[in-house]
Chain A
């Protein structure tokens, strides 16, 4: 069984996003870019399933600019066997990415597709569910545990108030939550090995997908600033402030 893993190149999670002065978006010039943390968890999970003998091949896919190759090399350094870049310099929204992935699912016929539950740049949390809809496959989102046996995946999901377990028939779409696993550190030998692994590049047109955006971003602005308040000397002063000034207790 093949596993397909989708990875996105995003602003590194340690870098603070800065709004461009003209309000058209976030300034991404000369800033560190990395693999979306949830996608790293997705790659790790697929590789672990391969190490367990459940999965035979792990294919990493990224949709975006040429530099996404670096993200795919990272995925292969974690343990993915090969990679596909759907190269596109234009803005790709979740529905477009889901359509591109659907085309690749049709071609590669994976038993399992694993994606991060959300990208930390647009915070959409959509692509996995959309892919499941387009491919007409079951979905198990926000996974904190995945077990594969007898043509089904049993997935523990993080939901409001606790956990839920669902069993889905394969092929299926899984999206990862934070605590599914802890991705390994990539070692230098594995980074070197990853450079030799195959990386194929295709264009959206090759896959017959129209990626035109359906949402128009009118502007991007700074959120209202929250000013720092005051420091209080001790607990008594804090209680007094909460009672008399803020009137919240």
Chain B
């Protein structure tokens, strides 16, 4: 029995969520192998071989695999799936796109966003926006699971010395073409990997105010910026900053919620943070019910003052 982790990578390096998935894979038991399917992805494969606990890296390389198209990546996973009891994907946009396609092709169920490996066939996963935790047992021979990174520690990125085996890349499906992407360039830490997150809600009032007030605080703390759905819907912050049930699930050391009321859908995305600070002028805001430290104040005065005193 061995476990295959499908790496999230950008061809040059391995994305952080892969490391948490390796930890989950080790908890399933057996040897852990990592699949790096990409284009000119030798550097990513070499990085995967360094991850502590990884026994082997499979490296498939072709132009058709370069942009992570679900049709091609799923076919690549299926080409090697026979040798594995478990196929584990990080629960990232990429992993969530591909994993169900693999599961259905294998005619097996998929477990989404596992937060705990109870036993090799049993997993815990949040449902109803994290308002309940389901313990599910997978009755199929092959377990296809996406791993929520906040549920598992990251494996050490170095210290391993796995062999890298080149495997034959599958042919392009021809059904889907990558046209381009707009990835925001930022010096800030990635939202899902950040140790500190400063997040703004509808009370920010405008995208100018959002930046003017929260950017200095994020700069000072070396934090990533996040937002509530209300703030994103209002156009104050980009879509991929959304923290919540249907956005990013985060669990930083410190989460600073500014002008966020705390809808259950938002709480679902951040309530596993180690320390939560809420700044809100509404004393009744539900965010205060999960905050370790609540400051009932006008954020437009309190946040600049906070920046000054740090």
Contacts and interface: CB of A to CB of B under 8 A. Distances in A.
B181 to A, nearest CB: 4
Contacts of A236: 309
Contacts of A239: 306, 309-310
Q: Is the interface of A mostly helix, strand, loop or mixed?
A: mixed
Given A123-B245, A216-B139, A242-B293, A166 B175 contact: no
Interface in A97-151: 98, 117-118, 120-134, 137-142, 144
Contact of B246 (A130, A165, A178): A178
A121 B103 CA distance: 21
A159 B99 CA distance: 15
Given A178-B246, A216-B136, A139 B71 contact: yes
Given A122-B127, A161-B240, A215 B105 contact: no
The 3 closest A-B pairs by CB, nearest first: A229-B292, A214-B109, A129-B100
A234 B175 CA distance: 58
B137 interface: yes
Contacts of A232: 293-295
A55 interface: no
Contacts of A249: 196, 221, 254, 310
Contacts of A98: 104
Interface string B60-103: 00000001011100100000000000000000111011111111
Interface residues of A, number: 80
Contacts of B282: none
A16 interface: yes
Given A94-B110, A229-B294, A242-B293, A132 B101 contact: yes
A181 interface: no
Interface string B101-140: 1111101111111000000001000111111111111111
Interface residues of B, number: 91
B297 interface: yes
A246 B254 contact: yes
A186 to B, nearest CB: 20
B132 A130 contact: no
B203 interface: no
Contacts of B306: 235, 238-239
Given A125-B112, A139-B71, A215-B109, A134 B104 contact: yes
Interface stretch (B27-35, B152-160, B271-279): B271-279
A26 B176 contact: no
A229 B291 contact: yes
Contacts of B67: 164
B267 to A, nearest CB: 9
Interface stretch (B43-51, B161-169, B182-190, B204-212): B182-190
Given A118-B246, A126-B110, A229-B293, A221 B135 contact: yes
A94 B100 contact: yes
Interface string B278-305: 0000000000111111111100001001
Interface in A11-26: 11, 13, 16-17, 19, 26
B192 interface: yes
A218 interface: yes
A147 to B, nearest CB: 11
Contact of B181 (A164, A228, A246): A164
A161 B8 CA distance: 13
B219 interface: no
B265 interface: yes
The residue in B102, B126, B134 that gathers the most chain A C-beta atoms within 10 A of its C-beta is: B134
A249 B275 CA distance: 11
Given A219-B135, A232-B294, A248-B274, A125 B181 contact: no
